[in-house]
Structure 1
């Protein structure tokens, strides 16, 4: 009898249905190619597939990235979320199976004599097992397990998204640091040259060759260069502190590698196909898996409309005397069903809630996909236009250097005033600083396109 009931329950379980819609990937209108693509026919090859150490060849930068990947707190928090999701999956999955508990006890009772009954002692002991099984006839627990599995996978892709963002942030901060180093080098070199020019100007003024106005203008040039040095030193220290925090360490100095201009820039950027972003970018994969979980949660909510079936059973041994230990067998098997009748709209509104949550996550997923297409297109145009700007700025800097030299020669030959020298020297310093920033922007565009294409998390 017991085996027959259990077999029927298992058969019902196998034949049971699952509530809620089956997940289908949303249709995403991906463009055939990215805007501002460098090639007429896109190739499946993409920079996003490259390992980060092949993109960033500076050995010191590679050391910083490795340290960050090992110690950064955001990465460790993301890893902790994976452990939490694994534990939650185990908890949810356990609901599909029977829960079994052991029971045991002993009791001894002594009653004194009375006019009707003589004195007696009673001993009872028992040992057994009890079980409760909530039959997943409508797929409530299977849907919940499906949601938990998707949440676990989403947390794993979330960690990969953190890794990719961290690689991008460390590279960006390092290139910004090297640009500040270059600005400081330019400012100190300019300051030294202007101090020499001021010394010469004072010598010429003491000999009566020039006026005090020329000396004042030379002093102005010195101060214009000198004021940049402390500000740049402050920014460099703060940038080093930022990098150390990304590394999961306390503020401190940062080792340098190649100069900014020596950082390798790929001659061509393979961007791949837009449709590949749906598989490569971890933030998009995470958003889709969150949608899978939300879809399963709709099934969990709908399953509450239907009866909840459960099997209960106990089995064990009993004895009513100390001499006859466990001299009888006992068991009990039962089934129970609960059906919601009046819940004042609780189940209906819970279904509406899960469906609305699913719709929100769906829209978020589609929004993330569009944002990814935009980020790649923005990075592609940034690469091309930043290169063009840097080339123009480089030519302007060379022209400013020539103008400054000619102004100095004209002034010493008496053909112009020191005001011309002041203007040329100021223009040259500005041009050199702008060139340093142009070189930085050109390299930051590489970091941007690498991150936008979903690179950096591959280890």
Structure 2
């Protein structure tokens, strides 16, 4: 379009309509009176131009644009069900509500609204959508307007004196340019930008899923550590009672000093574990504060409560459902489609390009007669790369390699998704089995402790069996809390792995633009 402006300006200068600008004040052209022969010549030229444009349009219609290949929705064969679970329904929406705790519900919603990482992904989505809008503008002509006003003053020296000539120039022009999409380059560029924006939105959705899962895991960690602190304090009180009993028996020469020292060591051991559990609570609170976009002291004080009880059977859906439910898989497919469109663009760049340009210009040395003199121009230009040192070929090779890379990444994402679901199912099943056997072991340990205590009090054995069984019971109690925490974490990982749809109001909170 800039070249078109330059050519029009030169033409106006040559024909006397401009001098230094589009039009000259000294040589303004007046409307010409065309005779019949002139009108016939104008008509003939216009008819010839129309014929050429029609011929060119026919050639354009005969061009076959490039097209991206159709991609199958399933890049690898998917099993009918998971190894440890038959096919079931889609996982629940807002899965964290299955824990039945309003505090967790509020924390997750705060994280989805105020998390800094999600704000970063929102900004990336905004940029991707802006690029898509910019790419979409190529389907329309580009129109520029230009207006100019100039004042000139020329002084010439003569033998008897000097003369000064002043003048004014006014010009107004409109310039338009449009690229005819011969090979589908413009269409592919637009579709590629749209796919990039769609992938960015799925990235934001995937980040929201991760943030919700991480917030839930930190909340579970806080509850588990609080339960552990309560249990340790109960164990500490129990150990002190045993210590008083052993000391009393020692005073009566019924127990040895070794029994007293061993029991006192057990008291100190439990006492030392409490600060570590309290530290973990503080660390989890700090991490949860970051996830929810707050400072640690801004979090509410969580009261100690029981760990949630979850159902025995998780809902994992079909493996094939992952292709629709997992946002990272959807993002990978969009990026593969974007790479396909970029390859189309790279191929089309190596072929001739047709660009239509048009211009209309007005000029005069008097503002009130600006529209008396005019010039219109319509042109079609065909440009083709002749030699670029192999740059365009290299760009096509790069785009083709990117397609292969995105296809490999997509397949890896699908395989990883299936593995994550399988791992979560296996982890939950085995942890649940471990908890069942640990509970039975704790029952046996409590029975053994009662028997050892009875025999010790009645002088049938020394204190070592009591000490051993007491330590075993307390370790099993702590282990049960940790394993129940692991069970809940495995369920959270399962919900994150299977994906699933979210309700619109939650998606607007997590993924749409902020007001």
Match 2:397 to one of 352, 366, 372: 352
CA gap 1:206/1:157 in 2 versus in 1, 3 angstroms: same
CA gap 1:14/1:272 in 2 versus in 1, 3 angstroms: farther
Deviation at 1:413, TM superposition (A): 1.4
Distance in 1 between residues matched to 2:444 and 2:404, nearest whole Å: 59
What does residue 193 of structure 1 align with?
Answer: 238
What does residue 28 of structure 1 align with?
Answer: 76
What does residue 325 of structure 2 align with?
Answer: 280
Q: Contact 1:393/1:438 (CA < 8 Å) preserved in 2? A: no
Deviation at 1:206, TM superposition (A): 2.4
The secondary structure found in structure 2 opposite 1:95 is helix
Note the 1:314-393 alignment, pairs <5 A. Answer: 314-321=359-366, 324-393=369-438
* Higher normalized contact order (CA 8 Å, seq sep 6+, divided by chain length): 1
What does residue 256 of structure 1 align with?
Answer: 302
Distance in 2 between residues matched to 1:187 and 1:230, nearest whole Å: 10
Instruction: State yes or no: 1:83 paired with 2:131.
Output: no
Gap runs ≥5 in structure 2 = 1-45, 507-515
Instruction: State yes or no: 1:98 paired with 2:141.
Output: yes
CA gap 1:7/1:437 in 2 versus in 1, 3 angstroms: farther
Distance in 2 between residues matched to 1:113 and 1:193, nearest whole Å: 115
The secondary structure found in structure 2 opposite 1:83 is helix
Deviation at 1:198, TM superposition (A): 1.4
CA gap 1:282/1:324 in 2 versus in 1, 3 angstroms: closer
Larger Rg belongs to: 2
Distance in 1 between residues matched to 2:483 and 2:163, nearest whole Å: 108
Match 1:19 to one of 50, 62, 66: 66
Distance in 2 between residues matched to 1:172 and 1:221, nearest whole Å: 31
Note the 1:120-269 alignment, pairs <5 A. Answer: 120-252=165-297, 255-256=301-302, 259-261=305-307, 263-269=308-314
Q: Contact 1:58/1:258 (CA < 8 Å) preserved in 2? A: no
Q: Contact 1:312/1:333 (CA < 8 Å) preserved in 2? A: yes
What does residue 50 of structure 1 align with?
Answer: 93
The secondary structure found in structure 1 opposite 2:474 is helix
CA gap 1:119/1:422 in 2 versus in 1, 3 angstroms: closer
The secondary structure found in structure 1 opposite 2:357 is strand
Distance in 1 between residues matched to 2:416 and 2:151, nearest whole Å: 75
The secondary structure found in structure 1 opposite 2:139 is coil
Please list the CA deviations of residues 166-197 of structure 1 after superposition, one character each: whole Å capped at 9, or x if unmatched: 12111122212222222222211111111122
Answer with 289-298 or 86-95: which moved more: 86-95
Match 1:59 to one of 102, 118, 123: 102
The secondary structure found in structure 2 opposite 1:36 is coil
CA gap 1:6/1:88 in 2 versus in 1, 3 angstroms: farther
Distance in 1 between residues matched to 2:322 and 2:157, nearest whole Å: 89
Deviation at 1:365, TM superposition (A): 0.4
The secondary structure found in structure 2 opposite 1:132 is strand
Please list the CA deviations of residues 244-280 of structure 1 after superposition, one character each: whole Å capped at 9, or x if unmatched: 111111123554367344x131232232221111011
Match 2:117 to one of 67, 74, 78: 74
Distance in 1 between residues matched to 2:368 and 2:326, nearest whole Å: 72
What does residue 40 of structure 2 align with?
Answer: none
Deviation at 1:300, TM superposition (A): 0.6
Give the alignment's TM-score, normalised by structure 1: 0.91
What does residue 433 of structure 1 align with?
Answer: 478
CA gap 1:111/1:456 in 2 versus in 1, 3 angstroms: closer
Q: Contact 1:112/1:118 (CA < 8 Å) preserved in 2? A: yes
CA gap 1:86/1:369 in 2 versus in 1, 3 angstroms: same
Distance in 1 between residues matched to 2:375 and 2:499, nearest whole Å: 63
Q: Contact 2:442/2:476 (CA < 8 Å) preserved in 1? A: yes
Instruction: State yes or no: 1:312 paired with 2:360.
Output: no
Deviation at 1:323, TM superposition (A): 6.1
Distance in 1 between residues matched to 2:64 and 2:357, nearest whole Å: 22
Across the aligned residues of Structure 1 and Structure 2, the Cα RMSD in angstroms comes to: 2.5
Distance in 2 between residues matched to 1:274 and 1:266, nearest whole Å: 21
Between the two proteins, the alignment pairs up a number of residues equal to 453
Distance in 1 between residues matched to 2:412 and 2:286, nearest whole Å: 34
Deviation at 1:321, TM superposition (A): 3.7
CA gap 1:211/1:111 in 2 versus in 1, 3 angstroms: closer
What does residue 492 of structure 2 align with?
Answer: 447
The secondary structure found in structure 1 opposite 2:379 is strand
CA gap 1:19/1:405 in 2 versus in 1, 3 angstroms: same
CA gap 1:249/1:14 in 2 versus in 1, 3 angstroms: farther
Distance in 2 between residues matched to 1:296 and 1:323, nearest whole Å: 52
